[in-house]
């Protein structure tokens, strides 16, 4: 058995996402059965997602967001273009200049 422990802050985020999905479902006037059917998942699985159960598969979450028409909201998640910290780390590992140093002298010496 794994010793994997989800940090409390991450657990809070999972619960918050589940609540947001529930609100989106209710705003559309859909029951749990309606959304589960549209997403092709079991209603118990959808309920677990809405309750923020961390064992719910990521594929289920993405599929439910798709069924709600919210899949575009995932475009910004882990977008490498907005990862300022990662970009900074990458830049710090780059050489100061690209290419090999040139020989001193006349470039046109044949």
Which CATH number do you get for residue 80?
Answer: 1.10.260.40
Structural domain total, the chain: 1
Q: What is the pLDDT of residues 20-60, one digit of tens each?
A: 999 999 999 999 999 999 999 999 999 999 999 999 999 99
54/18 Cα distance (integer angstroms): 10
Q: What is the reported pLDDT for 4?
A: 87
In a domain, 47, yes or no: yes
Contacts of 40 (CB under 8 A, 6+ apart): 63
Q: What is the reported pLDDT for 37?
A: 98
Q: For residue 68, give the nearest of 93, 49, 89 by alpha carbon.
A: 49
In a domain, 28, yes or no: yes
Summary mean pLDDT of the chain: 90
Range of the domain at 55: 8-93
Please give the model's pTM, rounded to 2 decimal places.
0.78
104/16 Cα distance (integer angstroms): 62
Cα dihedral 19, 24, 30, 31 in deg (nearest 10): 0
In a domain, 109, yes or no: no
Q: What is the reported pLDDT for 79?
A: 93
pLDDT of 1 above 60: no
């Amino acid at each position: 058995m794994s010793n994997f422990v989800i940090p409390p802050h991450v657990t809070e985020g999972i619960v918050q996402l589940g609540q947001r999905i529930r609100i989106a479902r209710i705003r559309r006037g859909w029951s749990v059965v309606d959304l589960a059917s549209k997403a092709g998942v079991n209603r118990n699985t959808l309920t677990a997602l809405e309750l923020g159960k961390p064992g719910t598969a990521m594929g289920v979450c993405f599929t439910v967001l798709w069924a709600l028409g919210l899949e575009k909201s995932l475009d910004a998640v882990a977008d490498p273009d907005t990862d300022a910290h990662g970009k900074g780390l990458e830049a710090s590992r780059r050489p100061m200049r690209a290419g090999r140093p040139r020989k001193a002298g006349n470039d046109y010496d044949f």
